Structure 1
Amino acid sequence: MDLTKAMFISAAGMRVQGARMKVISENLANADSISTVPGGDPYRRKVISFANELDAKLDTNIVRVKRITTDNTPFDLEFDPGNPAANQQGYVKLPNVNSLIEVSDMREAQKTFEANLTVIESVKAMMARTIDLLR
C-alpha cells in the first residue's frame, strides 16, 4: 500500500471520530435538558452513522459521515407535578440520553482517534527513514 494512502485513510478516520465526539458532546451537554413547555418533548439523542466511500483521487475506500439522525427511543417519564414542563398528569419527559453510554462511546471514539493518529505518526516515521536511507 502506498504510504500516502495510509495517511489519508487514517486522516479520514480521525475526521469521522472527531465528528462523532462532537455529537456525543452535544448529547452529554443536553442530558438534563427538558422541554420549556408543558408536555413538550425534551432533547432527543443524536446518533451518527458512517459509510465507506470510494475516493477517486486515492483510488481507495475511506470512511465518511453518512448522516446524523435522532434516536427515536421513547422518553422516560418522571412524576413531578410542580415542574413547568409537566403534562396534564404531572409527568415530565426526560431526554433519552444515557450518560454512561455516551461516556463509553466517547472513550471508544477517543481510542479510535488515537489509533489513527498512531498510524499517521508511524507512516511519517517510515517516510522520514526512507528519505534518510536515500541520502
Structure 2
Amino acid sequence: MSLFNIFDVAGSGMSAQSVRLNTTASNLANADTVSSSQDQTYRARQPVFAAMLEQATDEQVGAQVQVAAIVESDAPLVRQYSPNHPLADTDGYIYKPNVNVVEEMANMMSASQSYQANAQVASAAKDLAKATLQLGK
C-alpha cells in the first residue's frame, strides 16, 4: 500500500465518522420533539458504511470507507396519552421519536474515537513521510 493510499483511507474514515457524528447530533437534537401524527414524527437515523476496494495497476490494493446510505430506524415510535397537549390528536395522543439517548451518546463517543484514530493514522503517515525524506540528507 502506498503512502498516499494511507491518506485516502484515513481521510475517507474521517469523513464517514463525521457523517456519523452529524446524524447522531441530529438524533439527539430531535429526541424531545413531539408530533400529532406518526407520519410527521422524527425517526432516528443511522449511516450505513461500505468499503470501497480499489485494485491498483501495480498489485496494490486500497480500501476506503463510503457512506452507502442513511436509514431510518424501524423501532416503534413512543405514543403517549396527553389529552391537554396542544399537539394531541383527536384521541388525545402525542407521538415522540424513537431516539434512544443512551445509544446515541455511545454512538457519539465511538464515532469521536474512530475519528481520532483515523486522524492519528494520517499524522503517523505524515511523520513517516517526513522521516523518509530526511534519509536523503
Ranges of 4+ aligned residues in structure 1 off by more than 3 Å: 38-41, 55-59
Residue type at the aligned position of 2:118: N
Would the alpha carbon gap of residues 39 and 12 (structure 1) be closer, same or farther in structure 2, given more than 3 Å must change?
closer
Partner of 1:99: 101
Are the aligned partners of 1:34 and 1:95 in contact in 2 as well (CA < 8 Å)?
yes
What is the deviation of 1:85?
A: 2.0
CA–CA separation in structure 1 for the residues paired with 2:22 and 2:49: 14
Partner of 1:25: 25
Tell me the secondary structure at the aligned position of residue 116 of structure 1: helix
Let me know the Cα RMSD of the aligned residues. 1.6
CA–CA separation in structure 2 for the residues paired with 1:118 and 1:6: 11
Write the deviation string for residues 58-115 of structure 1: whole angstroms up to 9, x where unpaired: 8522110000111121111222111122223322111101111111101000000000
Stretch deviating more after TM superposition (19-28 or 56-65): 56-65
Partner of 2:135: 133
> What's the TM-score, normalizing by structure 1?
0.90
CA–CA separation in structure 2 for the residues paired with 1:66 and 1:127: 32
Tell me the secondary structure at the aligned position of residue 135 of structure 2: helix
Report percent identity of matched pairs: 30
Stretch deviating more after TM superposition (25-34 or 113-122): 25-34
Partner of 1:45: 44
Are the aligned partners of 1:53 and 1:64 in contact in 2 as well (CA < 8 Å)?
yes
CA–CA separation in structure 2 for the residues paired with 1:39 and 1:109: 32
Which sections of structure 2, spanning at least 5 residues, go unmatched?
none
> What's the TM-score, normalizing by structure 2?
0.89
Residue type at the aligned position of 1:83: H
Tell me the secondary structure at the aligned position of residue 19 of structure 2: helix
Are the aligned partners of 1:45 and 1:71 in contact in 2 as well (CA < 8 Å)?
yes
CA–CA separation in structure 2 for the residues paired with 1:88 and 1:15: 45
Residue type at the aligned position of 2:127: A
Which sections of structure 1, spanning at least 5 residues, go unmatched?
none
Partner of 1:11: 11
Residue type at the aligned position of 1:24: T
CA–CA separation in structure 1 for the residues paired with 2:37 and 2:8: 48
CA–CA separation in structure 2 for the residues paired with 1:47 and 1:65: 10
Stretch deviating more after TM superposition (80-89 or 9-18): 80-89
